[in-house]
Amino acid sequence: MFRLLFLLTLVIAGTTSVISQSVRVTILHVNDTYQFTPVEGGKRGGLARLLTLRKEAIAENPNTIFTLGGDTLSPSVETRTYRGAQMIDAWNAIGLDISVLGNHEFDIKTEELLSRIKESKFQWLGANVVDVKTRKMFADLPPYVIREFNGVKIGFIGLLLPETKQTSSMDASLTVTDYCTTARKLVREMRVRKKVNAVVGITHLFMAQDKKLAKCADFDLILGGHEHTLLQSSSNGTPIFKMTADAREMGKFNLNFDAKTKRLESFDWEIIPVTDKIADAPEFAPVFDKYKGLLEQLAVRVGSTSVRLDALSLSSRTMETNVGNFIADAYKSAVQADIGFVNGGSIRADLLYEPGILTKRDVISILPFNNAIVKVEVSGKTLKQILEHGVARSGPGEDNEPGRFPQVSGMRFEYDTSKPVGGRIVSISVGGKPVTDAGTYTIATSDFLVSRSGDGYTPFKDGKVVLGAADAPKDSDVFEDSIKNAPNSTISPVVDGRIKKIR
C-alpha cells in the first residue's frame, strides 16, 4: 500500500538518481457544493470557474478525473423550485466524473433523486446505501468503478455516513450499512480480483470516520466531504483531504505511477483557491441562461442589516450567534411560544453577511429547507433532555453531528462539556425563572425535529403538539417577515449571553 511520500530528487555521492518514466493521474476534487453561482458576493466559488480550472488541468494532463464528495442536490434556494435538477445541469456542463451520495441528496423525494441520477452524465456511488427489503444497492448503483489510464487501473468507491437517517428525509425503505464492513469487502475485491493499482475513497463521512475507514481497508487516498471545512490529515499512512463548502477551493491531487510496474510511487497535491480572478468558462453560459429568471427573482430586496450576520456553519453548530438568536426570536414570536428553538444545522448559508441589503436569496440561503415551525408543549424534564442532546457532541474533539447544537430564544442555559454526556446542562431558565421538572413550556421549532426526530432529537416525541405542521408557518417566511417588520426593515441582532459554555 502506498504511504505518504513526496517525489524528491535524490543526490547520492554527487550523482543524481534517475527517476523512472511515470504515469501521472490527476484527481480534481470539491465537496458540499449547493449552488452553481459564486458565493461571498461573487468572490469565491462558482462552477463556471471550476470548468476553467478543469480545462486547464486536462490541457496539462489528459489523465484527469473530477470527483465530488457529496451534498449538492439540496439544500439550496434553487432546489425549492427545481428539486436539484439545476445542479445536475451544472455538473454535466463542467464534466464531473464521479460523485458519492451525500446525506442531503436524500432531502428530496426518492423518486426525484432517482430522476436526478438518471439525468446525470457522471457516475454516482454509494456502496453502503441499500434497500432494506432486497438488500440491493440503491438505484442499482455499482459497488465501485475502475478507471484505466495508460494501463494504470484506479478503483473508486463511494461511502456515506451512517447518521444520514437522522440528518435527511431518507425513506424508511433505505438504510446505510457499516462503511468499514463494506469497504473491507469491496476494496479487497478490487485489489485481488480486479487487480487495481490504487484505490481511492470518495466519501461523505466525518474526519474521525474517514480515519477509521483508512484502518479498515487498503486505501491509497481518501477524498471526502461533510464538514464544510478545509481539512488535511492522514491515518494508517493514507492521506485524507476535504475542501470547504460551495467550491471555495478545489483540491488537485497527482498520483505518480511507475510506467512499467504500475506501482504507485509518489503523491503530491495543491489546494487551489477558486476566486473571482478565475474567468468563467464560456461553455457554462447556457446553465446561467436557463435559470436566469429565478436568479433575478431572488435578487429582490427584503430589508437590511446594520451589523455583520454570522451565518457560518461552524458558528451555528458550536456557539450562540446573532443570526441564531434572531431566527429563534422569530420562531418564538410567530407561534406565540415560551421558547424558540433552532437546530444549528438548519442554518445553511455558511457565510458572513456584511452590513447592507438582504435579498430573498439571502433569506432562503440561510433557511432553505422550507420546514414548518410547529408549537409543542413539553415538561421541564423533557426540556432538559432536549438540551442535553443538543450539547452532547460539543466537547473538544467531538464532531457536532449533525448540527444538533441549539440556538434559542426566551430562555438561557449553561453547559459544561467536561461533564459526561447526559449531565452537561448546569442551569436552565425560561422567562427569567429557573426550569422545574414538573413545569410545562411551549417550544416553537422545526417540524423536522418534532415529527421526524431530526438530528436525533427523540425527546420531542414526549411532547404534546399544540400547533401541527399543516397549520404552521414556514421557517424562511417567518424569517423574512421578521426582517420586514423590523424598524425600517433593518435588523441589528446581537449575542446576549443566552447560551453559556462553562468549559
Give the pLDDT confidence of 272-320 residue by residue, as tens digits: 999 999 999 999 999 999 999 988 888 999 999 999 999 998 899 999 9
* Helix/strand/coil for 490: strand
User: What fold characterizes domain 11-290?
Assistant: Purple Acid Phosphatase; chain A, domain 2 (3.60.21)
Lowest mean pLDDT among 65-79, 240-254, 400-414, 483-497: 400-414
Q: What is the average pLDDT across 72-79? A: 94
Q: What is the average pLDDT across 497-502? A: 97
Q: Residue 449 has what pLDDT?
A: 96
* Residue found by looking up cell 434572531 in the block: 326
Cβ atoms of residues 196 and 144 within 8 Å: no
The backbone torsions φ and ψ at residue 38, rounded to the nearest 5 degrees and listed phi first, read: -65, 160
Q: What is the pTM of this model?
A: 0.83
What is the CA angle 448-454-460, rounded to 5?
80
Q: What percent of the chain has pLDDT above 70?
A: 95
Q: What is the average pLDDT across 441-469? A: 96
3-state SS of 151-168 is CEEEEEEEEECCCHHHHC
Cβ atoms of residues 462 and 446 within 8 Å: no
Q: What is the average pLDDT across 40-62? A: 97
- Euclidean distance between CA atoms 337 and 441, whole angstroms: 8
Q: Residue 21 has what pLDDT?
A: 86
Q: What is the average pLDDT across 106-129? A: 97
Closest CA to 179 of 234, 218, 127, 253: 127
Count other C-beta atoms under 10 Å from residue 238's C-beta: 24
Banded pLDDT at 195 (limits 50, 70, 90): very high
- Euclidean distance between CA atoms 198 and 2, whole angstroms: 8
Which is higher by pLDDT, 295 or 420? 420
- Output DSSP code: residue 473: P
Banded pLDDT at 167 (limits 50, 70, 90): confident
Q: Residue 394 has what pLDDT?
A: 87
Going from N- to C-terminal start, the domains of the chain cover 11-290, 300-501
Strands 221-224 and 238-242: parallel
The backbone torsions φ and ψ at residue 48, rounded to the nearest 5 degrees and listed phi first, read: -65, -30
Q: Which helix (H) or strand (E) holds 378?
A: strand 373-379
- The answer to whether residue 95 scores a pLDDT higher than 50 is yes
> What is the identity of the amino acid at 501?
K
Quick check: bond before 75 cis, omega within 30?
yes
User: Rounded to a whole number, what is the distance in angstroms from the first to the last CA of the chain?
Assistant: 42
* Residue found by looking up cell 523512472 in the block: 20
Closest CA to 70 of 112, 103, 110, 108: 103
- The answer to whether residue 389 scores a pLDDT higher than 70 is yes
Banded pLDDT at 2 (limits 50, 70, 90): very low
Closest CA to 85 of 42, 52, 119: 119
Specify which residues 277 forms β-bridges with: none
- Euclidean distance between CA atoms 455 and 168, whole angstroms: 8
Question: How many alpha carbons fall within 13 Å on the CB side of residue 374?
Answer: 21
435-454: burial string, b at 16+ Cβ within 10 Å, e else: beeeeebbbbbbbbbbbbbb
Closest CA to 39 of 26, 27, 48: 48
CA distances from 419 to 121, 290, 501 (A): 50, 53, 12
CA 125, 128, 131, 133 torsion-angle sign: positive
- Euclidean distance between CA atoms 276 and 42, whole angstroms: 7
Which is higher by pLDDT, 4 or 167? 167
Q: Which helix (H) or strand (E) holds 266?
A: strand 264-273
> What is the identity of the amino acid at 425?
I
Q: Which helix (H) or strand (E) holds 501?
A: strand 499-501
- The answer to whether residue 135 scores a pLDDT higher than 50 is yes
Q: Which CATH class is domain 300-501?
A: alpha beta
Q: What is the average pLDDT across 429-443? A: 97
Banded pLDDT at 353 (limits 50, 70, 90): very high
Banded pLDDT at 14 (limits 50, 70, 90): very low
Q: What is the average pLDDT across 98-110? A: 96
- Euclidean distance between CA atoms 457 and 389, whole angstroms: 7
- The answer to whether residue 396 scores a pLDDT higher than 60 is yes
Q: Residue 304 has what pLDDT?
A: 98
All cell numbers assigned to 216: 479498515
Q: Residue 399 has what pLDDT?
A: 64
Domain pair 11-290 / 300-501, same fold: no
Q: Residue 4 has what pLDDT?
A: 38
Quick check: bond before 402 cis, omega within 30?
yes
Strands 249-258 and 22-30: antiparallel
- Euclidean distance between CA atoms 491 and 485, whole angstroms: 9
- The answer to whether residue 20 scores a pLDDT higher than 90 is no
- Euclidean distance between CA atoms 493 and 353, whole angstroms: 12
Q: Residue 18 has what pLDDT?
A: 37
- The answer to whether residue 420 scores a pLDDT higher than 90 is yes
Q: Residue 41 has what pLDDT?
A: 86
Q: What is the average pLDDT across 84-95? A: 98
* Residue found by looking up cell 530528487 in the block: 9
Of 139-143, 290-294, 348-352, which one has max mean pLDDT?
Answer: 139-143
Crossing angle of helices 85-94 and 110-119, in 10° steps, is 20
Q: Residue 402 has what pLDDT?
A: 59
* Residue found by looking up cell 435588523 in the block: 491
- The answer to whether residue 411 scores a pLDDT higher than 70 is yes
